[in-house]
Structure 1
Amino acid sequence: MVSLKRIYTIVGLSILVLILGTVALTTWYTVDESEQAIILTFGKADEGITEPGLHFKMPWPIQTVSTVSKETYSLQFGYDQKNGEITDAPADTKMITGDENIVLADLVVQWKITDPAKFLYNSEDPRQILYNSTSASLRSIIGGSEIDEALTSGKAEIEADVRDLLTTLIAKYDIGISITAVKLQDVELPNEEVRKAFTNVTDARETMNTKVNEAEKYQKKRENEAKGEKEALISRAKGDKAARIEKARGDVATFNALYAEYVKSPEITRKRLILETLDQVLPNAEIYIMNDDGNTMKYFPIRPLENQTQTPPVTEEGSEKNG
């Protein structure tokens, strides 16, 4: 028959082995390079550990370890992709633009866990908070944008605005995550008929822009031509001005020279000027210089003498023919 003392000894040794085994198994833990850990001391979170390798702690139940990944997660808003198949969620993606048009918009949010303690214990479901914040941010930005911006050239600006607003909301909720990127996937109209009408409007706008550009190009061309003509007229006017100034200077010099001669011989100069003026006014008239002494009138035929001086000399061959 086993004694009571022996039973107590066996039970005590069993408890001691159990305690030693628990201590041996729960006083160390490893952190992988892609993980980060947090120590809980009687349920209170201590500072997180990010260095990979073997670490030691107080045995359970004094301290416990929780680990989360360092990887970058993707939140797919408006659709779900599993096994290569995409499932749309139109109830989430349907929203109204600032000019009261309906569009379907979805995006992908890249995020990481930056504070494991807050991620694990500050909220019951941080992923759902992120999803709701993404929906609120996208709807807010789309609601303040016009449909043209959302469908065409404004996508990059919408992405940036959504990221800024979402980052602000996540920081306010303090759930231990950070947003690394926001990528707007698709923004489209709800049905084919509306898409076709919008395409027609877009084509008409592009045609208008083309015509406006052509008109502006023609306007610039005509302005350049007008500027060229203006410069040519100004240059020609400056040339005429210079020519007239030089001509006036020449006339002044001529007048001064005549005046000097007039001072020396006024009567001769006056007669000369009269004759030159008559020759200019009546170029084809016969001019005679007459001297009337009261008896017989004598005259000096100028034109015949000019013709004689201008007649070419007669050659010997011409003389023989006339003879």
Structure 2
Amino acid sequence: MVSLKRIYTLTGLVFLIIILGITAFTTWYTVDESDQAVILTFGKVEEGITEPGLHFKLPWPIQSVEKLSKETFSLQFGYEDKGGKSKDFPEETKMITGDENIVMADLVVQWKITNPEKYLYNSSNPKEILHDATSASLRSIIGNSKIDDALTSGKAKIEADVRELLTSLIEKYDIGISVLAVKLQDVELPNDEVRKAFTDVTDARETANTKLNEAQKYKNQKMNEANGEKDALISRAEGEKAARLERARGDVAVFNKLYNEYKNNPDITRERLVIETLEQVLPNAEIYIMNDDGNTMKYFPIRPLEKEESKPKAEGSENNE
């Protein structure tokens, strides 16, 4: 028979081996570059480990390690992609805009764990809280936006507003998560009839804007032409004004000079002015100064006779040639 002492000895050795094995395998751990760890001492968080490599701790059950990823996660709101297949959740994405139109909106939230302790122990399901906060933020912003903004050029502002509101909610919940980015995926109308009606309204609005732009362009063209004509008239008027002023100054200078001459020799100046005036009034007239001695013939047209005499002489010289 085996003695009790031997049984106790073997049992003690087995427990010792188990304890040594647990100690050997639970006093060290490794942290990858893509991971972060939290050390727990009897269930209480002691410190966070972010440096990769080999680390040591007290054996289990005194201390334990919880590892979490540092990578960026994606929350798909309104749909789910798995294995290359996409599944939609229309009840999540259906919401009402500020001008009382129904749209279907889904988005992606990029987030990461920044405080492992709060992520692990401040809530039982932080991912569900993030999902509900995303839904509340998106519905709040869409509910304060117009349908045109949600479907066209206002998406960037909606994304920024959703991110700001979602970040404030996550900070208030204090679950150790940071929101990195928010990206709207699809914002569309619920059915074909509504899409067609909205398309018709959009086309009519674009046509109206086109007509308004064309009218504004025509108005600007005519205004530019009118302004150009106005500037040309003003320029010509200024030039005419300057020319007339210069002519007036010249006439004044001439008059002053004649007046000075007239004061010195009034008779001569008077006769000169008469002659110059006659030359201007009758530029082609021939003036003869005659002495009236009482004869019958007081004017003899010498110049026409000279012209008649010079004409035959000219013709004779041509015949000789």
TM-score normalised by L of structure 1: 0.86
Report the more deviating stretch, 265-274 or 101-110. Answer: 265-274
> Could you tell me which residue of structure 2 aligns to residue 75 of structure 1?
75
SS in 2 for 1:314: helix
Tell me by how many angstroms 1:267 deviates: 4.0
Q: For the structure 1 residues 38 and 84, does the alpha-carbon distance in structure 2 shift closer, same or farther, using more than 3 Å as the test?
A: same
CA 1:98–1:53: 2 relative to 1, 3 Å: same
Instruction: Choose 239-248 or 181-190, whichever is displaced more.
Output: 239-248
Secondary structure of the corresponding residue to residue 311 of structure 2: coil
Match of 1:57 in 2: 57
- 1:105-148 residue CA offsets vs partner (Å, 9 max, x unmatched): 00011111111111111101000000001001111111111111
Q: Which amino acid aligns with 1:165?
A: L
Within 2, Cα distance between the matches of 1:300 and 1:174?
133
Counterparts of 2:45 and 2:309 in 1: how far apart (Å)?
133
Write out aligned runs for 1:169-318 (5 A).
Answer: 169-270=169-270, 273=273, 313-318=310-315
* Matched AA of 2:148: D
Q: Name the stretch that deviates more: 76-85 or 128-137.
A: 76-85
- Shift of the 257–53 alpha-carbon distance from structure 1 to 2, 3 Å rule, reads closer
Shift of the 84–287 alpha-carbon distance from structure 1 to 2, 3 Å rule, reads same
Check 1:25–1:265 CA distance in 2 against 1; reply closer, same or farther (3 A cut): closer
Call closer, same or farther: CA 1:104–1:176 in 2, change over 3 Å. Answer: same
Alpha carbons 1:170, 1:177 under 8 Å: kept: yes
Counterpart CA distance in 2 for 1:310 and 1:251 is 40
Residue in structure 1 matched with residue 44 of structure 2 by the alignment:
44
Cα displacement (A) at 1:299: 9.7
CA RMSD, 1 decimal: 3.1
Q: Is the 8 A contact 1:106 1:186 kept in 2?
A: yes
SS of residue in 2 equivalent to 1:153: coil
Q: Do the aligned partners of 1:106 and 1:185 also contact (CA within 8 Å) in 2?
A: yes
* Structure 1 runs of 4+ with >6 Å offset: 278-292, 297-300, 305-312
Structure 1 residue 31: Cα displacement: 1.8
CA displacement at 1:297 relative to structure 2: 9.3
Q: What is residue 104 of structure 1 aligned with on the other side? A: 104
Identity among equivalent pairs (%): 69
> CA separation in 2, counterparts of 1:309 and 1:93?
117
- How many residue pairs match? The answer is 318
Q: Structure 2 vs 1, CA of residues 105 and 289 (structure 1 numbering), >3 Å: closer, same or farther? A: same
* Residues 67 and 306 of structure 1: CA distance in aligned 2, closer, same or farther (over 3 Å): farther
Unaligned residue ranges in structure 2 (runs of 5+): none
Counterpart AA for 1:316: K
Whole-Å separation in 1 of the counterparts to 2:126 and 2:308: 123
Letter in 1 for 2:313: E
- Would the aligned equivalents of 1:290 and 1:298 in 2 still touch at CA under 8 Å? no
Deviation (angstroms), 1:73: 1.1
- In 1, the alpha carbon distance for the partners of 2:131 and 2:106 equals 12
2:139 aligned with 1:139? yes
Paired with 1:272 and 1:76, the residues of 2 have a C-alpha distance of 109
Distance 1:272 1:34 in 2: 115
Kindly provide the CA deviation profile for residues 26-65 of structure 1, in whole angstroms up to 9, marking residues without a partner as x: 1122222222111110000121112222221111111111
Q: Distance in 2 between matches of 1:156 and 1:181?
A: 12
